Structure 1
Amino acid sequence: MEEMGITDRIDVVEVTVSRQDGSGGPDPRNPHPEKKVPYLIDGDDQVRERGALVAYLTDKFPESGLGRPVGHPQRGAFLSWLFYYQGVMEPVLVLDWAKIDHPALQATFRDLEAVCARLSEALDGQPYILGEEYSAVDLLLSSPFQWLPDAMPTQPAIRDWVRRCADRPAMKVVADRELAGV
C-alpha cells in the first residue's frame, strides 16, 4: 500500500495472530475465517492470501504501475510469479526453515536450491523479475529475504535484487515504521 501510494485510501486494522513461538493468538476483531493475516475487505468483497491481495490491489489501482493489467504483455508472467510465491516459494521457505524434508515435498513444491535457481534465472541480465521495471512481483518475492535475513540466498543476483527492492523509499518507510512499532 505504501509503494502504491494508497495508504490514505485503505484502513489498516492491526490484529494479533498465533505466532510460531507461542505468542499471540486469535483476535476476535480479525475477520479472516482462520484468524490469519493478511485479509482485505472491500465493500462486500473479501480477499485473503498475499498473491490474491497483490493482484486485487494492483488491478484496483492500476495507476500505481506495480501490476500488469489484463491485456498487458506481461500479465501471464505477473500472475505466474504471484502464484509461484504462494504455491511454491513460501511453502519451500517454511519447510526449509522447519528442517522438514521428504521426496514427496520436493516433487510437489521443489526445494530451496530449485527456488533460488529459478529466481537467479529470472534475474539474469535484468534488475527485476519482470525486466527493467520494479513491480509488485518484486515486492512480494523479495519480502521473505528482507524480513528474514537468515534465509537470504548466497547467489549474488538474488542478493543484489533484494537490496534494490529494500532500498526503495516506500520499503524504507515501512521498515522504519516496523522498527518503531507503529
Structure 2
Amino acid sequence: MTTPALTLYHNPKSRSAGTRVLLEALGVDYAIKTIDFTAGETRTPEFLALNPLGKLPTLVHGDAVVTEQVAITIYLADRFPEAGLAPAFDHPQRGPYLRWLAYYAACFEPAVVDHAFKREPIEPSTSPYRDYDTVIQTLADQLARADYLLGDTLTAADLHWGTALKWTTNFGIVPKLPVFMAYIDRVCAHPACVRASELDEKLAATLPGPAQA
C-alpha cells in the first residue's frame, strides 16, 4: 500500500485538532503520526528537526514541512482547490479570507493567551492587537453579519475558527456569547468536524496527559 504524501503530526488534545478537521473536509488521503506529550515526543531531536518550536500542528507534504496553524490552513486549502474551501486568488473575497486567518494568529491568539494568564494590558497604541475586549468584540461583530466569516459560504477559515472557538469557550478564556455559540454549532455540524471529532475521541482515549499547544 502506498504511504500518503500528507502526514500530520498530531495529538487530539492540541491545536492540531483543527488541522485534522480541514484534512477531513478536503477529502484527501493523509496519515497521522501520533505525538505523545507525556513521552516528550515534541522534544526529540527528530521532531525538533521538523519544528524547532516543538509545537503542533506540524504537517509534512512530500519534501515540504509546514508549521503554524494559519500557514497550514492556507497551504492545504490552496493546494486542494477542488474542495472549494478557499476563495481563488482573483476572487473579491480573497482579501477578507486572508484577513480573518491573519487576525486569528496576529490578534486573537496573543490576546487570548495574555487574558488567560491575567497579564496586564499594555498601551493600546503599542499593542499589536490593541486589547482583548476589542479583539473579541470585533470578531463578534463580524460573525453577527452572516452565518460564516465571509457570508453564506463556509471556508477553511471557518473550520479553523469554529474549532478554535469551541476550545477557547470550553476553557472559559473566551466568553460564551450567543453569536459565538451559534457559530460553533453551525461549523461543528459540518460532516468533516463530526468525523474528525469521532476519530480524535478514539485516539484521545489511548493517550495520557492534558491538552497542550
Provide the TM-score with structure 1 as the length reference: 0.85
Q: How does 1:101-180 map to 2 (within 5 A)?
A: 101-104=120-123, 107-148=127-168, 149=170, 150-180=172-202
Amino acid paired to 2:84: G
Of 44, 52, 58, which aligns to 1:27?
44
In the TM superposition, what whole-angstrom CA distance separates every residue of 1:38-70 from its partner, at most 9, and x where no partner exists?
A: 122223322111111111101100111111121
Query: By how many angstroms is 1:152 displaced?
Result: 4.2
From 73, 82, 90, the counterpart of 2:109: 90
Unaligned ranges ≥5, structure 2:
1-22, 205-213
- Matched residue SS, 2:102: helix
Give the Cα separation in 2 of the matches to 1:111 and 1:91.
Answer: 10
Q: Deviations over 1:110-158 (max 9, x none)?
A: 3332122111221233100110011111111222221241234232222
Q: Among the aligned pairs, what percent are the same residue?
A: 30
RMSD after superposition:
2.0
More strand by share: 2
139-148 or 43-52: bigger deviation: 139-148
Letter in 2 for 1:108: P
Give the drift of 1:15.
2.1
Aligned positions, number = 175
Q: Which amino acid aligns with 2:194?
A: K
Corresponding residue of 1:20: none
Matched position secondary structure for 2:59: strand
